Chains A and B, each alone.
Chain A
Amino acid sequence: MHGCGLKIIVCVKQVPATTEVEIDSERGTLIREGVESTINPFDLYAVEEAVRLKERYGGEITAISMGPPQAESSLREALAMGCDRAVLLTDKVFAGADTLATAYTLACGIRKIGTYDIIICGLKTTDGDTGQVGPGLAEELGIPHVSYVRRIHLFMDGQIVLERTLDDVYEKVRVHMPCLITVTKEINEPRLPSLKRKLWARKAQIKILRAEDLGGEADRFGLNGSPTRVVKVFNPPPRLGGRLIKGEPDMLADEILKKLVELNVL
């Protein structure tokens, strides 16, 4: 933490606005053309947390995204909510990136942005659903990360105390900055931007960085830099219809109890 407040970076991603996306079964990727897109819902919580930190401690927030040119609309959403500037990493060679190549590309972009105290990511995206890019990015940058953060307790002496959600417990973690955190939906309630800021954000300058601007190793971008391949995409088999039990409430309760015992659920 510097005298002039926190330097915060928020990562955002443009995702399809619907959950009913068609899949290109040849390439194993989502067909994004013609589908309305939106900022990844989890990223709203990351942006909100960044804005709250800034409101409390002062500083500056940079939103960053890797994606096609239209991904700038997600960055504009982040600007409208309170980010100060936005950087879009966009280049044909970034296309087809898996989580590793994405993390690498973002790391290159973030190095270009300069110093930072904390990077905030949403827990995962609603399209890929892996939750790997945040931690992967921290590894690339060589900084500590904490995932599943549900609360930021306090900042002191270059450290933060965080609370994270595990399966059945909450864990309190102290971590040195600079660091990266991924946040859950518990952490806050994302604000609606004010119209005034929204109108500003619609016209704000977004910095575009291409592969050549990033430097980096060309074979670590996009499809080339992606060791994972989607081999096959298929729908899970449809669930077979259950058994319908009809009758009086008492009888039903007995039936269901019997069945649960039979199935070793109870």
Chain B
Amino acid sequence: MEMKYNKVTDEVLKDLRGIVGEENVLTDKETIKLYSSDEAPIGLEATAEVVVKPKCTDEVSDILSLANEKMIPVTPRGQGTGLCNGAVPVYGGILLSLERMNRILEIDEDNLMAVVEAGVVLSDLRLEVERRGLFYPADPGERTSFIGGNIGTNAGGMNGVKYGKTRDYVLGLEAVLPNGKVLNLGGKVVKRSMGYDLMHLIIGSEGTLAVVTKAILKLIRLPKIFITLYVPFSNMYDAAKSVSEILREKVTPTAIELVEREVILEAENRLGKRMPHHDADAYLIIRIDGDKEEELYGDAEAVSEICLSNNAVDVLVADTKERQSVIWDIRSVFYEAIVKSREADIVDAAIPPSKMPLYIERIKKISDEYGVKILSYGHAGDGNIHVHPIKDGLSDEEWNEKLPKVMMKLYSEAKNLGGVVSGEHGIGWTKKKYLPICLDKEEIRIMKEIKKIFDPNNILNPGKIFDA
């Protein structure tokens, strides 16, 4: 589709400077380049024409009105930790960085809610609420991300098994439409039934419908105790099989992560820390939380029985903060350990959790069939697995020829098992071609119509999710 956008002229720059101030309009080529990519394993050659850093909702509103009037594309950006080129300004234009909107406005201890600006860093929010004995459980592993970005992708992560994903913790949003109008959706209410839920429509819309500027988030009480089980298995299949059996128990762990040995070794090297066990081919990392130690260990025992009956080599337990954080710190660098040292891609499939052992088998089959190495790990407890085809040992030609086939096959197999093409990373630019695997034409048509209503000029993060 041909895009009829206008360039950012000197006149537009002048207007932008008038809105946010001289120092918050960046035109230096190097700086713009830094803002024009995210952490997708395979990036795009695209750069914005200008980076603009508003401080408040009014400024966001003025910028969008201006861009809408001048037909200039605007790409909202959080911390750029996305994995699908979702924050990459593929049509140039304005890169709207929300980094200065980073205030935690309120922590409402009476209602267990937090009101934050979109540029608040997730780890900052977590620390701030934990200091008050509260907990914001939506945790996409990458905690340097912004809350705004978490909302844009409906980020999931480690705690999904027990606590769900970002969407489950958003009670209200302030969002700016491309025409500059400000929507206040939801609020400090737990229940709400008033027509179409535009707030939930905006969550997960990857900045294509409106720019989220503020959010009201639900908090819960911080569980008093956490323990982590580190469970070695001699193969991925047995580990995956244990997961589906654990989920059938009345125990609900906070997190159940599945990983193969090679990923752990690379993550250890990257971080310079060591896991407590190395000799097994696959591992489950299970976190259990609660308030009563007796109950917690009872749950741990139940989980342990299941693992051992599925041939776990042993069940190790970490209960101090330090020893647990070594494990989870290593866990948090799996992604970069795989992609930063070599060429690799990533599949973010989510399947029914009980189908995980089957999917693991199929991944292995695909790897053998195409002769492409594949490393996997993921949030097995909620059926979300990250599968990395890896270039190791292949020539450029072979890689370029095989990768698209392998990717398509991995997604199709997920779909065949009742799964979806993105569990938590979103579609962005990169996964547009896989969306039709899962969504039928009518669903995509409705999405496109919705996009038109919110953004008739298609200036907001164009080229993402689908071509409008």
Nearest Cβ on chain B to A212's Cβ, whole angstroms? 32
Chain A CB within 10 A, most for which of B300, B317, B318, B321: B317
Q: Is B132 an interface residue (CB 8 A)?
A: no
Q: Given A38-B322, A41-B322, check contact A189 B274 (CB 8 Å).
A: yes
Rounded to whole angstroms, the CA-CA distance of A199 and B277 in the bound complex is 19
Determine whether the beta carbon of B321 is less than 8 Å from that of A194: no
Determine whether the beta carbon of A194 is less than 8 Å from that of B320: no
Determine whether the beta carbon of A192 is less than 8 Å from that of B297: no
Nearest Cβ on chain B to A76's Cβ, whole angstroms? 10
Interface residues of B in 318-366 (CB under 8 A from A): 318-323
Determine whether the beta carbon of A195 is less than 8 Å from that of B323: no
Determine whether the beta carbon of B304 is less than 8 Å from that of A195: yes
A interface majority secondary structure: mixed
Rounded to whole angstroms, the CA-CA distance of A192 and B316 in the bound complex is 6
Determine whether the beta carbon of B320 is less than 8 Å from that of A202: no
Q: Is A17 an interface residue (CB 8 A)?
A: yes
Pick the contact of B315: A17, A190, A194, A202 (CB < 8 A): A194
Interface flags, A172-215, vs B, CB<8A=1, else 0: 00000000000000000111111110110010000000000000
Rounded to whole angstroms, the CA-CA distance of A190 and B273 in the bound complex is 13
Rounded to whole angstroms, the CA-CA distance of A244 and B380 in the bound complex is 48
Rounded to whole angstroms, the CA-CA distance of A87 and B276 in the bound complex is 27
Interface size class of B (residues with CB under 8 A): 10 to 19
**Neighbouring B residues of A38 by C-beta, 8 Å:** 320-322
**Neighbouring A residues of B314 by C-beta, 8 Å:** 194
Q: Is B136 an interface residue (CB 8 A)?
A: no
Nearest Cβ on chain B to A191's Cβ, whole angstroms? 6
**Neighbouring A residues of B301 by C-beta, 8 Å:** 195, 199
Determine whether the beta carbon of A195 is less than 8 Å from that of B321: no
Rounded to whole angstroms, the CA-CA distance of A39 and B321 in the bound complex is 11
Determine whether the beta carbon of B315 is less than 8 Å from that of A195: yes
Determine whether the beta carbon of A193 is less than 8 Å from that of B316: yes
- Our count of residue pairs bridging A and B at CB distance below 8 angstroms stands at 45
**Neighbouring B residues of A191 by C-beta, 8 Å:** 276-277, 316
Nearest Cβ on chain B to A151's Cβ, whole angstroms? 17
Nearest Cβ on chain A to B111's Cβ, whole angstroms? 28
Q: Is B229 an interface residue (CB 8 A)?
A: yes
Rounded to whole angstroms, the CA-CA distance of A193 and B297 in the bound complex is 14
Closest residue on chain B to residue A36 by CB atoms = B321
Q: Count how many chain A residues have C-beta atoms less than 8 Å from C-beta atoms of the other chain.
A: 18
Determine whether the beta carbon of B320 is less than 8 Å from that of A195: no
Interface flags, B81-100, vs A, CB<8A=1, else 0: 00000000000000000000
Q: Is B230 an interface residue (CB 8 A)?
A: yes
Closest residue on chain B to residue A198 by CB atoms = B317
Q: Given A17-B321, A41-B322, check contact A194 B316 (CB 8 Å).
A: yes
Rounded to whole angstroms, the CA-CA distance of A188 and B274 in the bound complex is 11
B interface majority secondary structure: mixed
Closest residue on chain B to residue A38 by CB atoms = B320
Q: Given A199-B301, A202-B297, check contact A192 B320 (CB 8 Å).
A: no
**Neighbouring A residues of B316 by C-beta, 8 Å:** 191-195
**Neighbouring A residues of B315 by C-beta, 8 Å:** 194-196
Determine whether the beta carbon of A17 is less than 8 Å from that of B229: no
Determine whether the beta carbon of B322 is less than 8 Å from that of A193: no
Q: Given A41-B322, A199-B297, A202-B297, check contact A192 B274 (CB 8 Å).
A: no
Interface residues of B in 197-241 (CB under 8 A from A): 229-230
Closest residue on chain B to residue A191 by CB atoms = B276
Closest residue on chain B to residue A193 by CB atoms = B317
Nearest Cβ on chain A to B75's Cβ, whole angstroms? 30
Interface residues of A in 31-49 (CB under 8 A from B): 36, 38-39, 41
**Neighbouring A residues of B319 by C-beta, 8 Å:** 198
Interface residues of A in 114-168 (CB under 8 A from B): none
**Neighbouring A residues of B304 by C-beta, 8 Å:** 195-196
Interface residues of A in 8-26 (CB under 8 A from B): 17
Rounded to whole angstroms, the CA-CA distance of A189 and B320 in the bound complex is 16
Rounded to whole angstroms, the CA-CA distance of A196 and B317 in the bound complex is 9
Determine whether the beta carbon of B323 is less than 8 Å from that of A192: yes
Nearest Cβ on chain B to A161's Cβ, whole angstroms? 26
Rounded to whole angstroms, the CA-CA distance of A154 and B356 in the bound complex is 48
**Neighbouring B residues of A39 by C-beta, 8 Å:** 320
**Neighbouring A residues of B321 by C-beta, 8 Å:** 17, 36, 38
Rounded to whole angstroms, the CA-CA distance of A164 and B371 in the bound complex is 49
Determine whether the beta carbon of A195 is less than 8 Å from that of B300: yes
Determine whether the beta carbon of A195 is less than 8 Å from that of B322: no
Nearest Cβ on chain A to B316's Cβ, whole angstroms? 4
Closest residue on chain A to residue B318 by CB atoms = A192
Closest residue on chain A to residue B320 by CB atoms = A38
Interface flags, B356-387, vs A, CB<8A=1, else 0: 00000000000000000000000000000000
Determine whether the beta carbon of A192 is less than 8 Å from that of B317: yes
Closest residue on chain B to residue A202 by CB atoms = B297
Closest residue on chain A to residue B293 by CB atoms = A202
Determine whether the beta carbon of B322 is less than 8 Å from that of A194: no
Interface flags, B265-301, vs A, CB<8A=1, else 0: 0000000001011000000000000000000010011
Nearest Cβ on chain B to A17's Cβ, whole angstroms? 6
Nearest Cβ on chain A to B299's Cβ, whole angstroms? 11
Closest residue on chain A to residue B274 by CB atoms = A189
Determine whether the beta carbon of B274 is less than 8 Å from that of A194: no
Q: Given A189-B274, A191-B276, A195-B301, check contact A17 B320 (CB 8 Å).
A: yes
Closest residue on chain A to residue B304 by CB atoms = A195
Interface residues of B in 150-173 (CB under 8 A from A): none
**Neighbouring B residues of A196 by C-beta, 8 Å:** 304, 315
Closest residue on chain B to residue A17 by CB atoms = B321
Chain A CB within 10 A, most for which of B301, B321, B323: B323
**Neighbouring B residues of A198 by C-beta, 8 Å:** 297, 317, 319
**Neighbouring B residues of A195 by C-beta, 8 Å:** 229, 300-301, 304, 315-317
Q: A38-B322, A192-B276, A199-B301 are in contact. List 16 more A-B contacts (CB 8 A).
A: A39-B320, A77-B320, A190-B276, A191-B276, A192-B230, A192-B277, A192-B316, A193-B316, A194-B314, A194-B316, A195-B300, A195-B301, A195-B304, A195-B315, A198-B317, A202-B297
15 interchain pairs, CB-CB under 8 A: A36-B321, A38-B320, A80-B317, A190-B276, A191-B277, A191-B316, A192-B276, A192-B317, A192-B318, A194-B316, A194-B317, A195-B304, A195-B315, A196-B304, A198-B297
Chain A: residues with CB nearer than 8 A to chain B?
A: 17, 36, 38-39, 41, 77, 80, 189-196, 198-199, 202
Nearest 4 pairs of A and B residues by beta carbon = A192-B316, A192-B276, A195-B315, A195-B317
Chain B: residues with CB nearer than 8 A to chain A?
A: 229-230, 274, 276-277, 297, 300-301, 304, 314-323
